Amino acid sequence: MLGLGTLPIASALAGTGQERFSPAPKALAGKRWAMVVDINKCDNCMKCQRACHAAHNVPDIKDREEEVKWIWSEPFEKVFPGLENKYVGHGAQKHHCMVMCNHCENPACVRVCPTKATYKREDGIVMMDYHRCVGCRYCMAACPYGARSFNFQDPRPCIKQKNLEYPARRKGVVEKCNFCAERLAAGLLPLCVEACPRNVLAFGDLENPHSQVRKLLTTRLALQRRVELGTHPNVYYLV
Amino acid sequence: MLEKAFKGSRLYRNWLLCLLGLMALGLFFYLIQLREGLTVTGMSRDVSWGLYIGQFTFIVGVAASAVMLVLPYYLHNVKEFGRITVLGEFLAVSSVIMCLLFIIVDMGMPTRLFNVLIYATPHSVMFWDMVVLNGYLLLNILIAWNVLEAERNSVAPPKWVKALIYVSIPWAFSIHTVTAFLYSGLAGRDFWLTALIAPKFLASAFATGPALLIILTYILKRYANFDAGKAAVQKLSLIVTYALVITLFMIAVEFFTAFYSKVPGHMLSLRYLFMGIEGHGKLVPLMWLFVVLAVFALVILLNPKMRRNDGALLLACVAVFVSMLIEKGISFVVGGFIPNPFETVTEYVPTLPEIMVSLGIWAVGLFLLSVFYKLVVSVKAEVE
């Protein structure tokens, strides 16, 4: 009995000195993941949102004030307040922009979280540990982008079709977009990128000069939200 | 010593029973909140902190203001405060306990409270707020109890208590400074992103706390046969006057910076609070009530003749307390969230459960305060 009971410990000790967890062979590796959103291509069809919210068990809360959302669309002038110009009647300003967590290089949410329930990974993804979050909502006060949602109520009754591959949250914790970390680990691109029929969204490693996102950023002027705050967002908007 | 606290008149016992009833009611609504989640409050995705965190912030100030008795008495030998310094310390104890309760009821996952210790995160201001608040609570419990015990035995308090008292002075400033830093270090919230928050918090605390103490000394005189002395009340009223003037000055200069620079982010929250934007202005009447009360108090306090009149001073102190409760306990926190990062307005109005839970916590604070003050008054009566 004792022998069997200590077996897992013994095998764990045997692994010291090596990486205890190695990424799956197919996993996508990156140093600084980023999203590039081509505003002009987007027709606001919301297929990206539907795919994302279904896969991540994001509840469909009817009360607008208590909504939970990972990716959604806002008019240009709301996303870039102060950049709108009433004399230009065409171009990017007419469009809606898909918004999500910016996975900041310098995330305010991570700085303020009292339990490290939200933390930044080495590849730049700002993650949430739903099991550690105490629900103080300090991160929501700190996020300059309104990217975070709090589960004011039990989300489970509001999930239409549960995806058993991904955890559902419970009431009292904060959540947000995770750049589909679970899909990257399996070698897949984020769902919103895959679901978009018009190639609005592109995802890749900014540190890799041959990545699609790097190439796109050389083609046109790209905006980031509220750069003056020094957060260095990793979501870019091509205008 | 504690047994003295529960032997009292019928009025005193009924008062405690009333508070217990209010606590039970608060607990009942808190249980509903625990079951349903924070959806029972008026808070939203956009205004994610409300009455709870507002009240927390306000009461941290009340706790810190004990230093306005301790500092003059122990550092400048202001003898008038000798009789009432311990009242300030017990006020600090009761208010810090209220603060901790307000934090707990605001949490989405209160069962995970100790994650803040288990995963202590020094880069979070909230971690430091927890450290300074609990430290301040401990300091004041030790100080108040030992000072009172010494008084009862007609001896000087032990030397180590004196040392703790000196530590408690800068510590009092730290609790409100760190609480201010919860807000003034957030880049995305223009209304809070000003170095003026900590000094403004301290100034308004030093108006609110002594105003409350004056009100309490009146109550003790009327119902507990304890006279703090006219000289002490007058000294306190002077502190209230200066602190109120400084507070209102600091609130006013924010208006200059916002509306002269015309930077939209700086104007929007103030405009929402005092004028309303895009037809949203639920806090506007409350803000003007704040202005009226503050000006009313200022007129009385700045006029020495009126300030020396008991009735007028009492009215002024109530006005100071209520106006600061509005400014720091409600509008400061809510205003920071409006408009949201998309420059749209989601308004906030506290709900019945939220108000009842808050009242329950006030009842806890008043209960503790009543018991402590009963103790102090009994000990003093015994010694005299």
pLDDT at B255: 96
With beta carbons under 8 A apart, name residues in chain B contacting A152. 37-39, 41, 43-44
Tally C-beta pairs within 8 A across A and B.
137
Residue pair B209/B68 in contact (Cβ under 8 Å)? The answer is yes
Strand partners, A126: A120
Q: Where are the domains of chain A?
A: 29-238
Strand partners, A99: A72
For residue range A36-74, list pLDDT tens digits in order.
999 999 999 999 999 999 999 999 999 999 999 999 999
Interface of B with A in 224-283 (CB under 8 A): 264
Confidence band, pLDDT 50/70/90 cuts, at residue A82: confident
A166: three-class secondary structure by DSSP: coil
- Is residue A150 less than 8 Å (CB to CB) from chain B? yes
Question: Cis ω on the peptide bond leading into residue B339 (within 30° of 0)?
Answer: yes
Q: Which CATH number fits domain A29-238: 3.20.10.10, 3.90.950.20, 3.40.50.300, 3.30.70.20?
A: 3.30.70.20
A224 closest CA partner among A32, A36, A33, A46: A36
Phi, psi of B245 (to 5 degrees): -60, -45
A137/chain B closest Cα distance in angstroms = 7
Residue pair A225/A79 in contact (Cβ under 8 Å)? The answer is yes
Partner residue opposite B187 with nearest CB, options A149, A154, A229: A229
Residue pair B139/B171 in contact (Cβ under 8 Å)? The answer is yes
Mean pLDDT of all residues in A1-7: 44
Question: Using CB atoms within 10 A of its CB, is residue B222 exposed (0-12), middle (13-18) or buried (19+)?
Answer: exposed
Residue pair A74/A237 in contact (Cβ under 8 Å)? The answer is no
Give ipTM to 2 decimals: 0.93
Between these two residues, B35 and A77, which has the higher pLDDT value?
B35
- pLDDT of A4 > 50? The answer is no
- Which residues lie below 8 Å from residue A7, measured CB to CB, with a gap of 6+? none
Walk along chain B (384 residues) and give the pLDDT tens digit of each residue.
777 787 888 999 999 999 999 999 999 999 999 999 999 999 999 999 999 999 999 999 999 999 999 999 999 999 999 999 999 999 999 999 999 999 999 999 999 999 999 999 999 999 999 999 999 999 999 999 999 999 999 999 999 999 999 999 999 999 999 999 999 999 999 999 999 999 999 999 999 999 999 999 999 999 999 999 999 999 999 999 999 999 999 999 999 999 999 999 899 999 999 999 989 999 999 999 999 999 999 999 999 999 999 999 999 999 999 999 999 999 999 999 999 999 999 999 999 999 999 999 999 999 999 999 999 999 988 887
- Is residue B222 less than 8 Å (CB to CB) from chain A? no
Question: Using CB atoms within 10 A of its CB, is residue A157 exposed (0-12), middle (13-18) or buried (19+)?
Answer: exposed
Q: Do A114 and B116 touch (CB under 8 A)?
A: yes
Helix (H), strand (E) counts: chain A: 8, 10
Partner residue opposite B49 with nearest CB, options A79, A137, A174: A137
Report d(CA B6, CA A134) in Å as an integer.
38
Strand partners, A239: none
Q: In whole angstroms, what separates CA B371 from the centre of its chain?
A: 19
Q: Do A132 and B119 touch (CB under 8 A)?
A: yes
- Which residues lie below 8 Å from residue B287, measured CB to CB, with a gap of 6+? B273, B274, B326, B331
Residue pair B261/B268 in contact (Cβ under 8 Å)? The answer is no
Q: Do A150 and B38 touch (CB under 8 A)?
A: yes
For residue range A162-176, list pLDDT tens digits in order.
999 999 999 999 999
Q: Which domain holds residue B376?
A: 2-383
Question: What number of CA atoms fall less than 13 Å from residue B146's CA on the CB side?
Answer: 16
A75: three-class secondary structure by DSSP: strand
B173/chain A closest Cα distance in angstroms = 22
- Which residues lie below 8 Å from residue B276, measured CB to CB, with a gap of 6+? B284
With beta carbons under 8 A apart, name residues in chain B contacting A143. 188, 341
Between these two residues, A19 and A118, which has the higher pLDDT value?
A118
pLDDT at B130: 96
Q: What percent of chain A has pLDDT over 90?
A: 79
Terminal Cα-to-Cα distance of chain A (whole angstroms): 66
- Is residue B119 less than 8 Å (CB to CB) from chain A? yes
Strand partners, A175: A149
A135/chain B closest Cα distance in angstroms = 4
Report d(CA A120, CA B343) in Å as an integer.
27
pLDDT at B32: 98
Phi, psi of A74 (to 5 degrees): -135, 150
pLDDT at A19: 55
How many structural domains are present in chain B? 1
- Is residue B380 less than 8 Å (CB to CB) from chain A? no
Question: Using CB atoms within 10 A of its CB, is residue A214 exposed (0-12), middle (13-18) or buried (19+)?
Answer: middle
pLDDT at B126: 96
Rounded alpha-carbon distances, angstroms, from residue B198 to A114, B61, B62, B175, B201: 21, 11, 14, 10, 5
Residue in this structure with the two tokens 């608040």, named with its chain if needed: B133
- Is residue A116 less than 8 Å (CB to CB) from chain B? yes
Rounded alpha-carbon distances, angstroms, from residue B104 to A57, A122, B89, B100, B230: 28, 33, 23, 6, 39
- pLDDT of A81 > 90? The answer is no
pLDDT at A25: 80
Q: Do A143 and B188 touch (CB under 8 A)?
A: yes
- pLDDT of A17 > 80? The answer is no
Q: What is the CATH number of the domain that holds B143?
A: 1.20.1630.10
Report which DSSP code applies to A186: T
pLDDT at A91: 64
Report d(CA B306, CA B297) in Å as an integer.
11
pLDDT at A92: 62
User: Residue B189: closest CA among chain A residues belongs to which residue?
Assistant: A144
